[in-house]
Amino acid sequence: MDEELRKFTDNPEGNDQELNIIDQHLKSMRIEQPSVNFTQKVMSNLHRASAATLGLPSRNKMLMLAGILVAIGVAILLIAGGAFNNVTSITVDQNIIPNDQLREYIPSIPFNGKLIINIVILMNLALAFMILDRAVLKPWFEKRRHA
């Protein structure tokens, strides 16, 4: 045990003065204990803590849910209006690459905007359902269960 303490306190040569001071300090400390009726106080206040968490959904969560729904609506309107119907391609600017041999091997990348926007809409819908579950439905069902 003393060897482990010496390693911990960076005292490998065996100078026990620090260890003795630490040992005396630990022996002089009084071990604290909770009050006799601690458990009864905690158990009697449990209903207060659970009732506080059953309140209305927080304002931030509701605003986030509204923002996600607005973003989904805007994206759907853009898709319906045909904003992403064209398939475009991303090409590397020809002036950047001076070597003609490299230009032959660099492909143009087709970019389907409609597909990417549909993926973003699906991800937003999944996020909206998770926030709806946490912010609205869970507190509502908890309140009904405890009523």
The first and second tokens of residue 112, run together, are 């389907």
Per-residue pLDDT tens digits for 42-83:
888 877 755 445 455 678 888 888 999 999 999 989 888 888
- CA 88 from chain centre, in angstroms, equals 35
Q: What is the pLDDT of residue 100?
A: 60
Domain boundaries, the chain: 2-50, 55-146
- Is the separation of the CB atoms in 121 and 107 below 8 Å? no
Per-residue pLDDT tens digits for 84-139:
887 777 665 555 556 665 556 666 677 788 888 889 899 999 999 998 888 888 88
Predicted TM-score (pTM) of the model is 0.48
